Amino acid sequence: MNQVTASMAGNVWKVVVNEGDQVESGQDVVILESMKMEIPIAAETTGTVKELKVNEGDFVNEGDVIAVIE
């Protein structure tokens, strides 16, 4: 299993995938909003989204787990 983590603190602006979706390495999982910028957070491996740990509007800190991919 691989965890997708936030690279910086911010609000979850948009969740791009759903649990059960197939994702490719480099594919966006969520888009964070921080300091009026949109920061895409991508999967680092190819696999299936097993669990999403955030919802749109949630606040995350750097290093927080956003999703689990297996």
Residue 1's pLDDT band, with cuts at 50, 70 and 90, is confident
| The model scores a pTM over 0.85 | yes
Per the structure block, which two tokens stand in for 50?
């097993």
Domain count, the chain: 1
Task: Look up the domain containing 30 and give its range.
Answer: 2-69
Tally Cβ neighbours within 10 Å of residue 44: 15
Exposed/middle/buried for residue 57 (C-beta within 10 Å: 0-12, 13-18, 19+): exposed
Asked if residue 5 has pLDDT above 90, the reply is yes
7-61 tens-digit pLDDT = 999 999 999 999 999 999 999 999 999 999 999 999 999 999 999 999 999 999 9
Instruction: Report the CATH number that the domain containing residue 22 is assigned in CATH.
Output: 2.40.50.100
Tokens describing residue 65: 């787990």
